[in-house]
Structure 1
Amino acid sequence: MKDRTFAFIKTDKKLVKLFFRDITVIKGLGNYVEINTLSHKKYIYYKSLKELIETLPDEFMRVHNSYIVNLTNIESFEDNQLVCQDQKIAVAKSYKDCLITALNTMML
């Protein structure tokens, strides 16, 4: 199961299968997270960002105290802001260098 491409989350009293490639942004809400997908669906899941980032694949990166993004779904990055599906996300100074390094490995 090390190379799995999906995970199940418990939300609204049911288990929902989420493919990692479909996740765009994960927003921290205290002990909960809001998971946004390419199909514009939002799921509320009981887990902290700190716990979640440890279980996600390498294409996910924390860019702010309140946000994790899927690097494969970033549309643009300019002036300390990422754009993922028309959603602008501020990149914290402490995460910027790591993000730039990761994006440089994906450049042509």
Structure 2
Amino acid sequence: MEDRTFAFIKTDKKLLKLFFNEINVIKGLGNYVEIHTTRHKKYIYYKSLKDLIESLPQEFMRVHNSYIVNLNNIESFEDNQLISGDLKVTVAKSYRDCLTNTLNKMML
């Protein structure tokens, strides 16, 4: 199961198959998370951001106490703002260096 490309989440009393490459941003809401997808849908899932980041593939990175982003779906990054899909996410100072180093490795 190491190379899996999807996971199931329980939302609205049903199990939903969610492909990792379709996730743009995950926003923390206390013990819940709000998952924003490339299809402009939002899903609420009962899990903390801290627990969720440990079970996500390596293309996901925490960039703020309240946000995890899919590095593959970042459209732009300038100053302390990144754009992923229709969302602007503020990158916290404590995460900026790590994000910048990772993005530099992905440059041509």
Distance 1:21 1:72 in 2: 7
- Structure 1 outlier segments of 4+, above 2 Å: none
Aligned to 1:102: 102
1:15-94 to structure 2, matched below 5 A, reads 15-94=15-94
C-alpha distance after superposition, 1:5-35 (max 9, x if no partner): 0000000000000000000000000000000
Which TM-score applies when normalising by structure 2? 0.99
Whole-Å Cα distance in 1 between the matches of residues 80 and 90 of structure 2? Answer: 6
Flag structure 2 segments of 5+ consecutive residues without an equivalent.
none
Q: TM-score, normalised by structure 1?
A: 0.99
Structure 1, gaps ≥5 residues long:
none
Q: Which amino acid aligns with 1:104?
A: N
Q: Over aligned residues, Cα RMSD in angstroms?
A: 0.5
Question: Aligned residues: percent identity?
Answer: 79
Q: What is the rounded CA distance, in whole Å, between the counterparts of 2:86 and 2:29 in structure 1?
A: 20
Is 2:17 aligned against 1:11? no
